[in-house]
Each structure stands twice: as structure tokens, then as C-alpha cells.
Amino acid sequence: MKRLLLIAYYWPPAGGAGVLRWLRFCHHLPAHGWQPTVITTRAGDYPFLDHSLEEPDVRVVRTSTPTYGGMFRMVAGRKAALPYGDLRTASQDSMLKRLMYWTRTNLVVPDARVMWAPFATGAATRELRRAPFDAVVTTGPPHSTHLTGLQLKRRFGRPWLADFRDPWSRISWLSLGGPSRLTRAAHERLERRVFAASDAQTIFSPYFADIFPPGDKHVLYNGYDEREMEGLEHRRSDRFRIKYVGRITAGRDITPLLDALQAEAMPDAELSLVGVFEQPPEDILHGRPGIRLRNVPFGPHRQALDETMNAEVVVLLSERYADTRGIIPLKLFEYIGSRTFILGLGDVQGESAALLRRYGAGEMLDYDDTDGIRRVLRQRYDLWRNGHDDRNHANVSELSVTAQTERLAQILERMT
């Protein structure tokens, strides 16, 4: 059994998509001859918690660290919400808020978790001195985790895999937040250093694999986990269930969907919002009393999977900013694995749209294609009313976590 040292900021009890990629890989890697040890935080800046996530049988080393959230609330107030995913400000915001957001965008590079890097490096150094490891993996975001990889590579020279679950210099909060040229250049310089020093890189989408700096790059999808879907099955309902699962954050626009639902006469239709939202669902529906709304707060991940499977349509909202073509949310793989029809709103030429077409899993439409959104909803509604089997029966097994972990193991073997 080979030994793998993984440095990951997001790990249970953290919830959400950021933790799932490597949590799942660590469940499956021992079957491919790799035994992970995980370096993570004891109490990080997590947007939400999910204590239901099942941890694999691996050794976990937790470190303490000062948090940006604690420092932020010392200045902004104990109840202030930590900025997450969007660092834009408005003219009506206070001078203090604008100053703090500007400082966060332009002076904290590469991200607000950079204060954890020395603690992660110290813990990883002790592990590498205590026992031999065949490879080191760093996963980001936060991309400051890769700074630990740089330090470990210089000190120990072990094979290093840098994993990217999201873009770095083109990540959404940078695109939306408008950093200075100097700040953006600093991100790009660090990005190039990581690609030059690491032995291989795994990247979440083909588009970004092409535009990241040169390196030994491999596309490694997030995938869906068949284990987590065991025992879940689709149950027909007396309502036509349309569901959005996840966060509705800046850049994700649900308005076109609401307009289409308001315009179409579908008396049995129900819209469910499952997850965490930046504004109350009642405010999202303001002025649309005809839409039947079901609000499901953030809960255990298995509940989200059950909600996804028990729907007639699940909705994918891409962010509305310049560089979304290569974005493939982890949620999309779970949508595909659930066999539920997917209505996507976003870039019709992007990577997510390509996956929908390749596996016959749904349809991606432009946000402004109001007629197309109404057409798809009507088609799916009529199929449901007439009792047709509207589940996707394509072979999607190559998108499973099992298949992706096998690919990961091959990359690790090649490195070592």
C-alpha cells in the first residue's frame, strides 16, 4: 500500500461542494493501493457545516489557525456575514465595508485562507519526517494550500500533485471583484510557480486545463458517487417538481426561470429551492404570487441527493460573468447521476452544456432565451402529465467517482 499525504482546507465537518471531491477520492483510493493521510484545519472559515458526511478510514491531522472570519468580525461586528464568493461593493455600502473588501481583494493574496499555510506546512513537515510518503497532494481552492506544496517540494522533493477544483487567476470572485493589475499579476505569478514546481496537475475541466500555465495537466472530473445514492429511488408525485439545489449567489440569476413559470399555465407545478440563499426565498418570488414555492433549508448531503432524484426537472444556474465557459459545478455530476432531466441556464457552448449533450441528460439554454425556457418546461410537464418515463437511461458510469478515482490512481502511479 502506497502512502499519500493530502493537504485540504475543506474537510468534514465542513459542508458543501468544496469538501466532496477529495472526501470521495479518499474513500476509493485504498482499493487502488493508496492510503491517504489528511492534513486539515481544526476549525476553518466554513460557509456551512454538514456533520452527516461520512469520513473515510484515514488518518486526519488537524491544525489550529487564525481565521479571516474572526478578524473580519472584530472589525465589522460580531454578526457580520463573512464575504463568500462575491467581493463586490455598492455605492450605498459603508466606507468601512468598502475598505475591508478592497483590502481583501487586493492585499490578501492568493486568498483569505493564506494564514493557514504555515500551520499546514508545519504539520505536513512533521508527517514527512515521521514516516515515508510516496506522494503529496494539495487541493484548492483555497489556492493558498498550494503554497504549502511549494514549501514541501523544496524541502523534501517528494512527487507533488497540485489539484484544481476551480480556476485560480480567473476564479469568479476575482472576475467580479475587480482587483488591481498588480494584484492580478501576483496571482498569475504564483499560479505559474505552482505549475512549474509540481510534478503533475489535475484540473476539473478541459477548458481550464487548456488555459492554465504549462505543466503535466490531466482532466479529473468531480464525478458522482454511486455509494451515496444507494437506496434512493425516484417516486412519482402528484406535483410537477422543479428543483434548484444549492446556493443562489451573485452571478446566478433565477429570474428567467421564474418568468417562464409565471407565464406558463401549469397548475400542478411546484418550485423547490433546496439549500442556502443570499436572500429569503419569499423575496426571490416578490411579485409572482402564482408560483407555488417550497423552501428546503440546507441539510445533510444525502437529503440533497434525494431531493435531486425526486424531481421532474432540476435546474442548473451558471454564473453570469465572462469566464464561465469552462466551469463544471460538482452539482452537475450529481444531477446527471440522479437521472433527472436537467434544465441549464448559461453558456450554451460551455463545458457543462457539452456534458448535457454528450449524455442526453438535459438542455442548456441562454439566460435570455425566454421562449426556450418556456418550451422545455412545457415539454417536460406534458410528458409528466401523460405518465411517460422521463428518466435518463444513458450509460454515465465514466462520470462516476469510481471511474475518476481509477484515473487519479493512474496519474499518481505515473508520478511515482
Does the pTM exceed 0.85? Answer: yes
Question: Using an 8 Å Cβ cutoff, are 256 and 345 in contact?
Answer: yes
**Mean of the pLDDT values across residues 295-316?**
94
CATH 3.40.50.2000 residue ranges of the chain are 2-223+401-415, 226-385
**Whether pLDDT at 386 is above 70:** yes
**Whether pLDDT at 63 is above 70:** yes
Would you call 321 exposed, middle or buried from its count of C-beta atoms within 10 A (0-12, 13-18, 19+)? middle
C-alpha to C-alpha distance for 416 and 413, rounded to whole angstroms? 5
Instruction: Output the CA–CA distances (angstroms, integers) from residue 23 to 13, 105, 111, 179, in the order listed.
Output: 11, 29, 22, 32
pLDDT value at residue 101: 66
The better pLDDT of the pair 178, 62 is held by: 62
pLDDT value at residue 108: 74
Backbone angles phi, psi at 126, to 5 degrees: -65, -40
Name the CATH superfamily, with its identifier, for domain 2-223+401-415: Glycogen Phosphorylase B; (3.40.50.2000)
Instruction: Output the CA–CA distances (angstroms, integers) from residue 363 to 33, 148, 237, 354, in the order listed.
Output: 39, 41, 23, 10
C-alpha to C-alpha distance for 234 and 240, rounded to whole angstroms? 13
SS (H, E, C) the chain: CEEEEEECCCCCCECCHHHHHHHHHHHHHHHHCEEEEEEEECCCCCCCECCCCCCCCCEEEEECCCCHHHHHHHHHCCCCCCCCCCCCCCCCCCHHHHHHHHHHHHCCCCCCCHHHHHHHHHHHHHHHHHCCCCEEEEEECCCCHHHHHHHHHHHHCCCEEEEECCCCCCCHHHHHHCCCHHHHHHHHHHHHHHHHHCCEEEECCHHHHHHCCCCCEEECCCCECHHHHCCCCCCCCCCEEEEEECCECCCCCCHHHHHHHHHCCCCCEEEEEEECECCCHHHHCCCCCCCCEEEEECCCHHHHHHHHHCCCEEEEECCCCCCCCCCCCHHHHHHHHHCCEEEEECCCCCHHHHHHHHCCCEEEECCCCHHHHHHHHHHHHHHHHCCCCCCCCCCCHHHEHHHHHHHHHHHHHHHC
SS (H, E, C) 228-293: HHCCCCCCCCCCEEEEEECCECCCCCCHHHHHHHHHCCCCCEEEEEEECECCCHHHHCCCCCCCCE
The better pLDDT of the pair 59, 247 is held by: 59
C-alpha to C-alpha distance for 387 and 42, rounded to whole angstroms? 50
* Reported confidence tier of residue 45, pLDDT bands at 50, 70, 90: confident
Residues 6+ apart with CB under 8 A from 325: 207, 347, 349, 350, 351
Dihedral sign for Cα atoms in the order 120, 123, 125, 130: negative
pLDDT value at residue 47: 78
pLDDT value at residue 104: 66
The better pLDDT of the pair 104, 245 is held by: 245
pLDDT value at residue 84: 52
Selected from 3.40.50.300, 3.40.50.2000, 3.30.1130.10, 3.50.50.60, the CATH number assigned to the domain covering 226-385 reads 3.40.50.2000
Rg (CA), the chain: 22
pLDDT value at residue 355: 97
* Interval 315-371: pLDDT, tens: 999 887 666 889 999 999 999 999 999 999 999 999 999 999 999 999 999 999 999
* Residue count of the chain: 416
pLDDT value at residue 173: 64
How many CB atoms are closer than 10 A to CB 31? 11
* Reported confidence tier of residue 180, pLDDT bands at 50, 70, 90: confident
pLDDT value at residue 85: 52
Residues 6+ apart with CB under 8 A from 116: 9, 41, 44, 63, 65, 142, 144, 145
Instruction: Output the CA–CA distances (angstroms, integers) from residue 265 to 243, 313, 380, in the order listed.
Output: 18, 16, 13
**Mean of the pLDDT values across residues 380-392?**
93
pLDDT value at residue 46: 84
* Interval 65-99: pLDDT, tens: 876 655 555 555 555 555 555 555 556 666 666 66
pLDDT value at residue 73: 55
* Interval 211-246: pLDDT, tens: 999 999 999 999 999 999 999 999 999 999 999 998
Question: Using an 8 Å Cβ cutoff, are 332 and 245 in contact?
Answer: no
Query: Which range, of 3-12, 64-73, 189-198, 362-371, averages the lowest pLDDT?
Result: 64-73
**What's the whole-number average pLDDT of the chain?**
89
C-alpha to C-alpha distance for 294 and 3, rounded to whole angstroms? 46
* Reported confidence tier of residue 283, pLDDT bands at 50, 70, 90: confident
